[in-house]
């Protein structure tokens, strides 16, 4: 089976050549900022559909501009991909979510359910997930950058609030804290992958599934963080 980027290239090769007398479609003149925003929007859709290995010539066609004009806005493909990351991968994450997660005037279960419902609706869209997965397969540093810049802080925040709510101490090992946070975050992320990428059809509503994962996480975190009694020395026979 060919990747979509390969199919796109094949379709371009099979397309009839333009007659030499045909005129290129005139490019609509736009202010520079509007042109950049348009290209970014189209690039997000294009790379989500065809992957990051797709040629920018196809993107230029999708934008209705020449490849030369495309590269006048972004000097190279790497710069374009970085801009797509800033605008469409990291950009939708709202810093105010950290404030809401730490607002202990509300029950923790409510905070977690509200946050992950918003995160699911705002971040974990079909195009976002497709681009994120394509980037990982292409070994582009999009996923590691996003995890390091945003998700690790999120994981630690979730576990910190869960520990405080349970009246239990936090682990001293940051790596362990993050793994505990993945127990919830990973489940919600995979829920979105199942629904958007695998097209898993089920009658169970997303908000209910998120509630199940939150409740299971909060029940499990108490058992994991509970201090363990010291091991008893073995008795001599």
Domain locations in the chain?
Answer: 30-88, 90-225
Model pLDDT, residue 226: 84
| 131 pLDDT higher than 50 | yes
Does residue 22 register a pLDDT over 50?
A: no
Max CA separation in the chain (angstroms) = 100
Q: What is the mean pLDDT of residues 14-35?
A: 60
Q: If pLDDT is split at 50, 70 and 90, which confidence band does 39 have?
A: very high
Q: How far is CA 206 from the centre of its chain?
A: 17
CATH (one of 1.10.10, 1.10.3470, 1.10.357, 1.10.150) for 90-225? 1.10.357
Q: What is the rounded distance in angstroms from the CA atom of residue 111 to the CA atom of residue 233?
A: 43
Is the distance from CB of 41 to CB of 78 less than 8 angstroms?
no
- Please give the pLDDT value at position 227: 76
Residue 99 has pLDDT above 90, yes or no: yes
**Percent of the chain scoring above 70 in pLDDT:** 84
pLDDT band at 85 (very low <50, low <70, confident <90, very high): very high
Taking each helix axis from N to C end, the angle separating 126-137 and 32-50, rounded to the nearest 10 degrees, works out to 70
CA atoms within 13 A on the CB side of 90: 17
- Options 1.10.10.60, 3.40.50.300, 2.30.30.30, 3.30.420.40; CATH of 30-88: 1.10.10.60
Provide CB contacts within 8 A for 133, sequence distance 6+.
193, 197
What pTM does this model have? Answer: 0.84
* Spatial CA neighbour of 47 closest among 12, 83, 93: 83
Residue 156 burial (C-beta neighbours within 10 Å; 0-12, 13-18, 19+) = middle
């Amino acid at each position: 089976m060919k990747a979509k980027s390969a199919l796109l290239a094949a379709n371009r090769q099979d397309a009839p050549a333009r007659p030499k007398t045909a005129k290129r479609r005139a490019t609509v003149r736009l202010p520079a900022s509007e042109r950049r925003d348009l290209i970014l929007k189209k690039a997000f859709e294009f790379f989500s559909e065809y992957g990051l290995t797709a040629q920018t010539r196809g993107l230029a066609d999708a934008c209705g501009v020449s490849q030369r004009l495309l590269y006048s806005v972004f000097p190279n493909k790497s710069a374009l991909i970085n801009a797509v990351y800033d605008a469409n991968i990291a950009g939708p994450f709202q810093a105010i979510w950290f404030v809401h997660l730490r607002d202990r005037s509300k029950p923790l279960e409510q905070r977690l359910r509200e946050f992950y419902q918003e995160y699911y609706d705002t971040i974990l869209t079909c195009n976002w997930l497709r681009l994120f997965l394509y980037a990982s397969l292409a070994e582009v540093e999009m996923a590691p950058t996003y995890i390091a810049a945003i998700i690790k802080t999120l994981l630690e925040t979730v576990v910190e609030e869960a520990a405080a709510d349970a009246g239990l101490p936090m682990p001293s090992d940051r790596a362990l804290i993050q793994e505990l946070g993945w127990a919830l975050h990973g489940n919600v992320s995979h829920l979105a992958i199942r629904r958007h990428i695998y097209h898993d059809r089920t009658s169970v509503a997303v908000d209910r599934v998120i509630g199940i994962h939150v409740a299971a996480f909060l029940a499990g975190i108490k058992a994991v963080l509970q201090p363990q009694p010291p091991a008893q020395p073995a008795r001599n026979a």
